[in-house]
Structure 1
């Protein structure tokens, strides 16, 4: 049996996540996708796709399933293992004082807690593997600069960046530690972008900027963004630097 490359991808049911899932499902790959919605992908010869339906605003069940699955695997069946934490959400666009508390909690759980819990499960389950391991966290420019009426999302992405830096330091101490990167994927034409540009300008002072990006054709398609992100994942220097942006050389 030829060893497969294992990929675990969250937020795979729409947008860039769905595009990445389609591009990752190819010969020689085992792909595990996690999302609340079903993800029917066309079968590919010599590829394996497992879809686990989970609500990652409560990530413990998904992490438990991932850990159990990895512990039941034979490490020799895989040439590499990669976790891509892509799932995220923005709450209804409003100043923090007008944002419902459950929306704040859900944004932080999905955007920060779930990546941390799933990464813990991934690293526990592959602790004895000597094959290359990678953790790719999908960040955002809003994790590196604040924006009014986006406090929960900005906080989740900023936390994801700093979590990635701390994790990289930990993994560097191990003989076969994972390489870690928190990658900003650029400005992508997704439902999230539509939500931002259609927001009430009284609640969201930057609405006009997102409208400008769309009307001037400055948004990257989900397919092109997925291609850029996966190309970054394949770079021999992946993880250097830990905080990166696809628009960097």
Structure 2
């Protein structure tokens, strides 16, 4: 019996996450999708009921999510798998406005989903599989906004900047281990998703950069979720994945 590839994906119910999940299923991967809601479109891409698990999980409760992942991974036999991958894709943008106008609860949710949950899930993933010898990878979906500031985007920029830094730190830790995991925080480019709709629909008085986002849509400079997913997965499959722990999908 040939060994299979297992991927854990957050935010797989819509947008680019859905496209990533669909493509992984078509490639024959076993997939665990963690999102607030299940997706019929994702289920339709699975060849059988065993290929896909969909967990309904609020990632703002990172402790519960990490415990569920630990339980699942601890139940597996390492010898059954050809590779193991975690893709932290989920994220949220709170109200697009200056920091002083954003409710603390919205800030907490954005940071928990966008930074705390990826850290907690990555920690659970690495701890539960530390003795595995098959290739293990963590792909964190970052953003160019984690590398350059933007007004009225303090929470999102901070979460992505934090994702870049924790990836760097954890990559150093894993490099010291005989079978350490490879990690990369990867910016995917500008993608035509609901998040872009949210940005274009912001109050112009609160968001000085709104014109740039409207122009990208008008000039057809946005990448489709399917194309973005294909580029991300191509990068994930590169032989040099993880050599640069913070990268851009457009890197050569």
State the TM-score, normalizing by the size of structure 2. Answer: 0.96
Gaps of 5+ in 2: none
Query: CA shift at 1:46, angstroms?
Result: 9.6
Query: CA shift at 1:104, angstroms?
Result: 0.5
- SS where residue 161 of structure 2 aligns? helix
- The match for 1:201 is 204
1:128 paired to 2:94: no
Query: CA shift at 1:34, angstroms?
Result: 0.1
Query: CA shift at 1:199, angstroms?
Result: 1.0
- The match for 1:18 is 18
Cα deviation 1:49-107 (Å, max 9, x = unaligned): 01111000111111111101111111111010000000000001000000010011100
Q: Return the match for 2:165 from 139, 162, 166.
A: 162
- The match for 2:248 is 245
1:146 paired to 2:149: yes
- The match for 2:117 is 114
1:89 paired to 2:92: yes
Gaps of 5+ in 1: none
Query: CA shift at 1:26, angstroms?
Result: 3.1
CA distance in 2, matches of 1:180, 1:48: 25
1:76 paired to 2:79: yes
- The match for 2:2 is 2
State the TM-score, normalizing by the size of structure 1. Answer: 0.98
Q: Is the 8 A contact 1:81 1:134 kept in 2?
A: yes
CA distance in 2, matches of 1:231, 1:173: 26
Query: CA shift at 1:28, angstroms?
Result: 4.0
- SS where residue 25 of structure 1 aligns? helix
Cα deviation 1:163-209 (Å, max 9, x = unaligned): 00000000000000000000000000000001111211110000000
CA distance in 1, matches of 2:33, 2:27: 16
Query: CA shift at 1:126, angstroms?
Result: 0.6
The 5 Å alignment of 1:56-75 reads 56-75=59-78
Cα deviation 1:121-174 (Å, max 9, x = unaligned): 101111110000000000000000010000000000000000000000000000
Q: Is the 8 A contact 1:143 1:161 kept in 2?
A: yes
Moved over 3 A (4+): none
